[in-house]
Amino acid sequence: MTETTPAAGSPDTIVLVHGLWMTPRSWEGWKAHFEAKGYTVLTPAYPGFEIEVEALREQPDVIANLTVPETVDHLAGVIEALPKPPIIMGHSFGGTLTQLLLARGLGASAVAIDSAPTEGVRVTPLSQAKSLFPALKSPATRHQAVSFTQEEFHYAFTNTLTREESDAVWEKYAIGAPGNWIWAYGLLANFTPGHQETWVDYTADRAPLLFIGGGADHIMPPSVNKSNAKHYAKSPAVTEYFEFAGRSHWTCAEPGWEAVADHALEWAVAHARPAVEAVA
């Protein structure tokens, strides 16, 4: 394995951005794994997501009206307060947020894992439509925090696990998600005139970005991530795609997740932009 202990001049901090239906708890394995390698690891919550899973289930309205710009501003504030640009890694909608953060000029390098798309990505596989149907089946969900049942979660997130294993994951980690995000960015963004809140300039320069797809991911299949990566073809920045066969959307915690984490870190370290030291 390539040595990844932070070297002088390399990023020494990793910011992990969680996705929808999850909280920072979902990063507990990666946080400990990277900290053991000598990194400072931050797992900032979206505004309102700071409380624990159990409390969010009891108070889902806390997150129902959160917006994407509010969330990006909050995450950008965390990153801008650091002494030098970190590695940014985001999962699912955290991958979308990672792209929006890079578009602001933040980060030394980044990895988007099983990423939700930014505006302009029009690939919608059947498994994705089926996964999102529980949130899109009624317009009333635009104003609610939308949760998956255990059966729906098994199909969308953890399809490579047994139902018993999936139910245990649901019990420990799953919460609701702002329904307006799923409607606005999962359904309507490509049909609404003008730039929406998940739009990025695909031709602009920015920090290097790796997309990681899971070969068995139902809700954000490889075709979505490949299409997203290809949109950056005219950018001078490095953009690559890598796929782990047979892995679900729960790739950051399903058995063998360490290989995904190590690949993400090795790539991010190898491609990180050197830090620019401040002049006294």
Strand 87-91 to 40-42 pairing: unpaired
Indicate whether 47 pLDDT > 60.
yes
pLDDT band at 189 (very low <50, low <70, confident <90, very high): low
Q: Which two tokens stand for residue 173?
A: 């980690």
Indicate whether 14 pLDDT > 90.
yes
Looking at residue 96, its pLDDT comes to 97
Instruction: Report the mean per-residue pLDDT for the chain.
Output: 92
The whole model's pTM is what? 0.93
Q: What percent of the chain has pLDDT over 90?
A: 75
Residues whose CB falls within 8 Å of the CB of residue 88, separated by 6 or more in sequence, listed in order: 14, 15, 17, 79, 98, 101, 102, 106, 107, 109, 110, 111, 207
Contact, 140 vs 21, CB < 8 A? no
pLDDT band at 279 (very low <50, low <70, confident <90, very high): very low
How does pLDDT run across 191-214, given as a tens digit for each residue?
A: 777 788 899 999 999 999 999 999
CA atoms within 13 A on the CB side of 275: 18
Indicate whether 262 pLDDT > 60.
yes
pLDDT band at 4 (very low <50, low <70, confident <90, very high): low
How does pLDDT run across 109-165, given as a tens digit for each residue?
A: 999 999 999 998 988 899 998 998 888 888 888 888 999 999 999 999 999 999 999
pLDDT band at 1 (very low <50, low <70, confident <90, very high): very low
Indicate whether 39 pLDDT > 70.
yes
Indicate whether 280 pLDDT > 50.
no
| DSSP states along 119-176 | TT-----HHHHHHHHHHHS-GGGGGSEE---HHHHHHHT-TTS-HHHHHHHHHHH---
